[in-house]
Amino acid sequence: MIMNIKNKHRFVIQEHHASHLHYDFRLEMLAHPADRAEKEGIDRYVLKSWAVPKNVSSENEVKRLAFQVEDHDIAYIDFEGIIKEGSYGAGEVKIWDSGEYEILSMESDERGNLKEVVFNLYGKKIKGEYALIKTRGFGSGKNRENSWLIFKKK
């Protein structure tokens, strides 16, 4: 299913000094239909999240591997600080860039899971048209199932 949706939402890229340095790329989006509030008519927004080992590139067509992780609560969009040792993602988190984004097109599979998103980023550091595309997988296990490529189109 391909959808064309034009409205702006927020994004953030967080520099995350956990067991290894990586960048958390997060897009404010509606939760998957199965995860939305049971009360009809209430939409629930989450942060769709990807761990990007080498950060998002500002250069055209430079593809970076991104591993989709669990959705985060929308309140996490402004988070900077220390995640305590022993907790998931323990380490220091800093906002590297943030701003708004606009979806140009979005494609989902038959179960409603995202397969591809094309969007414009309007950040302080990162700007332009980007794509996130689900791959057949790199690595093994969960990483293989959750592998994506993110790159600047123009």
105-152 residue pLDDT tens? 999 888 878 899 999 999 999 999 999 999 976 655 555 678 999 999
Q: Measuring CA to CA, which residue among 11, 127, 9 is closest to residue 60?
A: 127
Quote the pTM value: 0.84
Which 3 state secondary structure label does DSSP give 144? helix
Cβ(132)–Cβ(120) under 8 Å? Answer: no
What confidence score (pLDDT) does residue 144 get? 65
Q: Which residue has the higher pLDDT, 108 or 6?
A: 108
Among the listed ranges 25-29, 68-72, 88-92, 131-135, which one has the minimum average pLDDT value?
Answer: 88-92
What confidence score (pLDDT) does residue 133 get? 96
